[in-house]
Amino acid sequence: MIEAVPGTEVEDLLRRLAPQVLGAVVRRYGHFDTAEDAAQEALLAAAVQWPHEGIPDNPRGWLITVASRRLTDLLRSEQARQRREDTVARWALPGQWLAPAADRPAAESDDTLILLFMCCHPALSMASQIALTLRAVGGLATAEIARAFLVPEATMTRRISRAKQNIKDSGTPFRMPPGPERAERLAAVLHVLYLIFNEGYAATSGPSLQRTELAGEAIRLARMVHRLLPGDGEVAGLLALMLLTDARRSARTGPGGELIPMAEQDRSQWDAAYIAEGVALIVGALPRGATGPYQLQAAIAAIHDEAPTAEATDWPQIVALYELLMRISDNPMVALNHAVAVAMARGPQAGLDLLTELAADQRIAPDHRLDAVRAHLLEMAGDKLAAREAYLAAARRATNIPQQRYLHARAARLTDGQ
């Protein structure tokens, strides 16, 4: 008798195997675009069959066989159609293919990394990189990705097939990028994972502030990359940053979905296990040579997470870390956060002075967050009238409804107090 298997167990297994299966099929047969469809169909078949019929002895082998068969089918009808239309699939061999293959033989575990490098290929737009990574490496269906990004499924389908076509056209071979290129490409992969996390943690549009599945998926993928590259400090830093940020998730919104700023959050609600894991990761990564931006941000998040209250936070240390971060990344959001930390360490006026300089930066001047920070600092300084105006200005610029509600509430509180 075959025992039924819980659906979630099957789903976890399938999501874990997804990149391995696609990697194995593309490595053997090529055709990344068609193989990706074939692998998705194999995952779908398993998701339907396994909960009732049980998980096969070798689930990875089962999936690879089914995906390979499906690929043969798909190629067969594709080629038959092309011959009917007299459009033989011909592609110029890219110059790089003619160079001798000096690379070491690839390990099985490299497949997932190679897939990530392909999905985050510079020939693709950022939106396409994100969508393709979630599908080809994350094993998510197009409908799920569309839902997470609040776009129609047809739009997401087009985005993904265009991305796959671009990869095909780029002629990227299925192999590790050569040495010097690898670091650059890994940075692109980490950036995509970071954006997926942020999209989940602070949705940029729509009624729901946190689309937690996306944040959870980004953490899952970052864990996977960390397992593959345990010695890379920035990978560890990114995973730590995600865990240390996500640890505050449930304390970050109130019962009505309203935003609660960190200073007012109930810190007993923070996820102690995530904090412990994130701190251990960052403590392990920091002494290992060059410190990158993800490690610095994780170190800042760790200081916040370990402080018993906002006041008892080691603000001078946070200021110092932001200054290091500003030296390696020219990002106005970093400068904005630095201004907040300076205000907490040296008083609101010191922070407001920095904001005046920052307002000249056109990358952040139109952003609601600049006004929101100014409002907070003005409120700290006791200038209620100016603070109220700044909150209202921020609310006009915010695109996300909970954020607008939060900013209006702050403004209203100042009016009531007068």
**Which residues are at the interface with other proteins (CB under 8 A)?**
29-31, 69, 72-73, 75-76, 78-80, 82-83, 88-93, 98
Nearer to other proteins, 79 or 155 (CB): 79
Count Cβ neighbours within 10 Å for each residue of 334-344 and write b for 16 or more, e otherwise. Answer: bbbbbbbbbbb
CB of 72 to other proteins, least distance (A): 5
Give me the long-range contacts of 200-203 (CB less than 8 A, separation at least 24).
200/148, 201/245, 201/246, 201/249, 202/400, 203/400
Query: Residue 328 and residue 264: Cα distance in Å, rounded?
Result: 31
CB of 181 to other proteins, least distance (A): 23
Nearer to other proteins, 93 or 102 (CB): 93
Nearer to other proteins, 92 or 312 (CB): 92
CB of 37 to other proteins, least distance (A): 15
Nearer to other proteins, 1 or 98 (CB): 98
CB of 91 to other proteins, least distance (A): 5
Give the ranges where 175-211 is alpha helix by DSSP (H): 179-201
407 CB-near residues (< 8 Å, 6+ apart): 368, 372, 375, 391, 392, 394, 395, 398
DSSP 264: G
CB of 90 to other proteins, least distance (A): 5
Nearer to other proteins, 81 or 158 (CB): 81
Q: Which two tokens stand for residue 220?
A: 């899952």
Nearer to other proteins, 94 or 230 (CB): 94
CB of 79 to other proteins, least distance (A): 4
Q: Report CA torsion sign: 8, 10, 12, 14.
A: negative
Query: Residue 193 and residue 287: Cα distance in Å, rounded?
Result: 24
Phi, psi (rounded to 5 degrees) for 230? -65, -25
Nearer to other proteins, 65 or 404 (CB): 65
Q: How far is CA 115 from CA 20, 142, 233, 413, in A?
A: 9, 17, 21, 51
CB of 100 to other proteins, least distance (A): 15
